[in-house]
A and B are shown apart, each in its own frame.
Chain A
């Protein structure tokens, strides 16, 4: 099934509060309530220094060929109750975009971000987030788009002391995609949570890499990957928890869960723990395989056909994403993306 056309997506966006829509490098819509107007929004990069430039080719490409930019400066000591919704659409142009987010001391903020591509456009999307001490950011993302759209999406974050970032990424795009999530815990007791839920279909190839680097003591990292590989698609999860020397009492955890539905589909998880310190807690678990025969039998014994039973189980994998999304509009949007992928 083809994906929802731009106008249908834009219609959904109309029903949301606090949105910024960037299409082909231009802001085409911006609606912010009074509280959100406290945020300083610019489209001109000033003294911006890219995170993870040395390690990521995708970031290097972004730096050298960028044609779209947005920065959000969120003031200190504020609790924002409602989320800000960012939509990035590549419609008539290949987009190389960077979003720079700065959350000042002791502020709590929620961000929802959707990256969508149509036709045969390509997307290179990088977001850099800096959290000052005690700042908290709930960062929920969706990627969607046509089969012909290849995308590279990188989200990096650098955290000062006691700052907390919670990423929940929904990967629903139909094209080949390479997505990275890199969290640098620079301040003591900083916490990075990165969950990614990826659904792949057709002959799509998807690589998801999540890294949490512990560069301060008492820092906490959690990586969760959830995957459903359909048809003849390939889905690879790479999760890296890296605790540097002397970063005592840090905690690095990781889990990988997934089901392989398609007869020719492939799902691999490569969890890695790189630890250069004794006084830490670390662990990883993985549960990946075909849907359990007894589970299917149980569901079908109540009258669900095979496809319905599979869909119900697949829905279960998307539950962590649906749980964190507050807006009914976006929940519905996710359901639409899901049903387009899983027929």
Chain B
């Protein structure tokens, strides 16, 4: 059974501290949900766990079954069992969806045990059907021209094929219509077992109607400020976050106040241009 342990995690991007001491433990069989207003560090936490190169960890630790995750490269983390369904997955023109997933599956297998094309296609087609995705998907370029909902389903498709032990789903419900939400929810619920720990990042209780969670955490100012059961989520769904802020004496829940935010955006653009030169 996998255990992901995050302790006092601090991380910064572009010189700004975004995560300010996150502690959280997720075990196989458990489902945790993280809620929180916009810009409070939820996606950043997910990116730091997965190892996005733009974020720098300044303090704290992450371990998976006692192994130091922070010492691992992104791909090593994936092969160790971590999976992140991204809020905004990248588009990769020229790389077909099926080639990508097949390469990813084979990356986990040693040379003698590489997947046969036949076996791969069979399980891929099955997963595509279970997610009620369109059949031309295998030949389409990775996420290119996918609708918002198709991208989300494609993330879950990858999760189904790669069978991680810890999966983080960042706003998997956003952009999904009611039917699609049910399909995605059912597929995730079906994957639940004692060897899968789930972390759902969401804004709405609705998702938990389809994927039940045991623990709910609220994130503000780059930290988990409150944890509780499903009741906590229900209360947020009807009453919003004000009462929590009052209870904890928080004035601005965001990590970075408004005007600072803008400067950082400029910084990002500048690096992008420099890269393109």
Q: How far is the CA of A319 from the CA of B101 in the complex (A)?
A: 17
A65 lies within 8 A of chain B by Cβ: no
Partner of B78, one of A289, A295, A300: A300
A187 to chain B, nearest CB (A): 35
B73 to chain A, nearest CB (A): 7
Which residue of A has the minimal Cβ distance to B143?
A298
- Asked if residues A316 and B93 are in contact (CB atoms below 8 Å), the reply is yes
- Asked if residues B107 and A298 are in contact (CB atoms below 8 Å), the reply is no
Q: How far is the CA of A289 from the CA of B271 in the complex (A)?
A: 13
Q: How far is the CA of A309 from the CA of B142 in the complex (A)?
A: 13
Instruction: Tally B residues with Cβ within 8 Å of A.
Output: 34
Which residue of B has the minimal Cβ distance to A297?
B52
Q: How far is the CA of A294 from the CA of B90 in the complex (A)?
A: 6
- Given A295-B92, A298-B89, the answer on whether A304 and B52 have CB atoms closer than 8 Å is no
A152 lies within 8 A of chain B by Cβ: no
Q: Give a binary string over A302-318; 1 marks a CB under 8 Å from any B CB, 0 the rest.
A: 11111011001101110
B115 lies within 8 A of chain A by Cβ: no
Chain A interface, DSSP helix/strand/loop, else mixed: helix
Chain A neighbourhood of B100, CB < 8 A: 299, 302, 312
Partner of B92, one of A290, A306, A316, A319: A316
Chain B neighbourhood of A300, CB < 8 A: 73-75, 78
- Asked if residues A298 and B75 are in contact (CB atoms below 8 Å), the reply is no
Chain A neighbourhood of B216, CB < 8 A: none
Chain A neighbourhood of B79, CB < 8 A: 303
A64 lies within 8 A of chain B by Cβ: no
B84 to chain A, nearest CB (A): 6
A263 to chain B, nearest CB (A): 14
Q: How far is the CA of A296 from the CA of B92 in the complex (A)?
A: 9
What 7 A-B pairs are tightest by C-beta distance, nearest first?
A316-B94, A303-B78, A302-B104, A298-B90, A300-B74, A303-B107, A300-B75
Sample 29 A-B pairs with CB under 8 A, ordered by A number.
A289-B277, A290-B275, A293-B53, A293-B54, A293-B275, A294-B90, A295-B90, A297-B53, A297-B74, A297-B90, A298-B86, A298-B89, A298-B90, A301-B74, A301-B78, A302-B100, A302-B158, A303-B78, A303-B104, A303-B108, A308-B103, A312-B99, A312-B100, A315-B94, A315-B95, A315-B99, A316-B95, A316-B141, A319-B94
Q: Identify the B interface with A (CB < 8 A).
A: 50-54, 73-75, 77-79, 83-84, 86, 89-95, 99-101, 103-104, 107-108, 141, 158, 162, 275-277
